[in-house]
Amino acid sequence: MKNYLQVIKYALRYKGNILLMFLANIFLSFFSVFSIALIIPFLRVLFQQVAPIITKPEFSLSVSAINDTFNFYLGHFINQYGVLFALIMIAIAMIVLTFLSDFFRYMAQFFSAPIRAGMVYQIRKELYSKLVNLPLSFFSRIKKGDLLNRFGTDVQEIEWSVINSIIVICREPIMIIIFLVMLFKVSFVLTIFTLIIFPIASFFISRIGSSIQKSSGKLQQILASVSAIFDETIGGLRIIKAYNAIDHANKKFQEDTDEHFKMNKKIFRVNELGPPLVELLCIVTLAIVLLVGGIYVFKNNNLSGEVLVFFILLFSRIIPPASHLSTMYYTLKKGIPSIQRILQVLEADEKISEKENAESVTTLVNQITFNQVFFSYNDVEKKEECIILQDITFEVKKGEKVALAGASGAGKSTIVDLLSRFYDISFGEILLDGKNIKEYKIKDLRGLFGIVSQDVILFHDTVLNNITFGRSATRDEVENAAKAAYAHDFIMEMEKGYDTVIGDRGMTLSGGQRQRISIARALLKKPEIIIFDEATSALDYDSELAIQNSINEIFAKNTVILIAHREETLRNMDKIITIKDGKIHEIYFCKK
């Protein structure tokens, strides 16, 4: 219930719509009652049982007073216009009241539309905002397919369960209360019989709801696994085909989908048990009402035949709201696991937090200093537990070209990730012009860096938008950056040049072409500090050498941090730092 209330806050932003929906449902309930109530005079006129009342009775909220008042006017109407005309007018009145009832039913749905669409909009908006602000360590624990499932299926499940529950709560209890009041007004004893159903139904419904919630949690986990496998299959399709592992991939996917099928089948079966169970209990109660009511009529009690019909019709109209309430209960139970999975992201700890009143920074004045930096992806209490980076200490002066060299997995890329605060260090400090980088605004700090990595990230968009990503630039500026990255020629050979859409992750391009567009994007930014993380590894020797010369020329006065394996890429460096097993092995100062 706590998780449910946390999500309900999104609906409270639409208090006006909730109030209007509530009022519309009140009118819906009243007009529904009145449209049914007209069955009594209709039957009385039909069977010529209208009691002649000469004196107009005093009006009150009692059933007898309302009945006598109606019979007074009905009697005059029959005497003046005839029985047939009276039946026609009663039928027309029933149609009008039913129309008004349906009109307010629609208005209730009309006012609920902003709530339904708005809640989903707000949840997705906050979820996306949270995802882009969470540290990279969060994504190392959860598969991308799982996150996509939370963003899609889980949010949709919340829409179905939570929003429907709000609509049901604003409608069904009102109808049940108004109909019950009328039932008590008609016959207190018979109404008591109808109430027998509720504790019995509540017991069975609660058992069904608990079963659904438990199964639904497992179902969402399996679905997340299926989504993750599907995502990995698309990303690794070349490897799957190259290693003839299609059967292996199919088997792995089939195992999870089989489990999902079994669990989903179980939930559907249990889910559909609620409405017929409630309906059965209602019909049992209705049969009792018919039996007891029939005895009342035969014994000439105050309950007449047409009133008994009215009572039964009223009671039958309680069955759908009661069924909807029961459905809401276990539908909500089914949605609880999805709510928990969404809240797990929304309430995730943003370890990369910005200090209150953080300072702005626009340029590097003197130097960057790593001072006894230790790092681990997990929370640690002692330096000895840090197994990724240990005691990293070095300086990068403004305008200096520094290379980080070493074997794969030594920790080179992690060092530059710490510099951009993609992760926060465990111990030690990183200083920018003598001040801890945590003192600066994260956006300003990252604005100092331009990063070109070996793992190129491109988007399903045009070449132009991929190069200008996150900033504004003229066409000439874009082309100059592309020329410097030796990308302009092959871009112009494309069907639409810079306006060509390059597909998901730039899959229509070769590895070298993707890398050059990535380099052009960094060149366009003209950052204070440029970081090349194996940026030219996908290029041939001649292209790599040409781009290196271009980079050296363009960034002659910039600070450059270069991560590389090959010696050819270490030319023109001022300093080479070799990293081995997360530690600084040697530092070479190159002579100019």
pLDDT of residue 540: 65
Q: What is the pLDDT of residues 242-267, one digit of tens each?
A: 556 667 677 767 777 777 677 767 66
More confident residue, 544 or 202: 544
Own/partner contacts of 169-172, CB < 8 Å, gap of 24 or more, are: 169/328, 170/18, 170/21, 170/22, 170/25, 170/108, 170/112, 171/21, 171/25, 171/28, 171/108, 171/321, 171/324, 172/321, 172/322, 172/324, 172/325, 172/328
Q: Is the pLDDT of residue 195 over 80?
A: no
More confident residue, 191 or 245: 191
Residue ranges of the chain assigned to CATH 3.40.50.300: 367-589
Q: What is the pLDDT of residues 122-164, one digit of tens each?
A: 888 888 888 777 777 677 667 776 777 777 777 877 777 777 7
| pTM for this predicted structure | 0.62
Task: Give the three-state DSSP class for 577.
Answer: strand
Position of tokens 């069977």?
47
CB 160 within 8 A of CB 331: yes
Whether the CA torsion 21, 328, 320, 202 is positive or negative: it is negative
Position of tokens 């980088």?
437
pLDDT of residue 205: 56
The mean pLDDT of 363-388, rounded to a whole number, is: 80
Task: Give the three-state DSSP class for 589.
Answer: strand
Binned at pLDDT 50, 70 and 90, residue 337 comes out as: confident
Whether the CA torsion 133, 134, 136, 140 is positive or negative: it is negative
Q: What is the pLDDT of residues 481-517, one digit of tens each?
A: 888 888 888 889 888 888 888 877 777 787 778 878 8
Q: Are strands 427-432 and 435-436 parallel, antiparallel or unpaired?
A: antiparallel
Percent residues over pLDDT 90 in the chain: 2
Q: Is the pLDDT of residue 70 over 70?
A: no
pLDDT of residue 41: 62
Query: Domain spanning 2-346: which CATH class is it, in words?
Result: mainly alpha
Cα within 13 Å of Cα(192), Cβ side: 4
CA distance 311 to 304: 10
More confident residue, 338 or 214: 338
pLDDT of residue 369: 92
Average pLDDT in the chain = 75
- Structure tokens belonging to residue 419: 């510099």
pLDDT of residue 495: 85
Q: Are strands 427-432 and 401-405 parallel, antiparallel or unpaired?
A: unpaired
Kindly state which CATH superfamily the domain 367-589 is placed in. Answer: P-loop containing nucleotide triphosphate hydrolases (3.40.50.300)
Residue ranges of the chain assigned to CATH 1.20.1560.10: 2-346
pLDDT of residue 408: 77
pLDDT of residue 90: 73
Percent residues over pLDDT 70 in the chain: 67
Q: Is the pLDDT of residue 237 over 80?
A: no
Instruction: Report the amino acid identity of residue 308.
Output: L
pLDDT of residue 342: 81
Binned at pLDDT 50, 70 and 90, residue 54 comes out as: low
For residue 289, what are the CA distances in angstroms to 35, 143, 196, 313, 515? 22, 57, 11, 11, 79
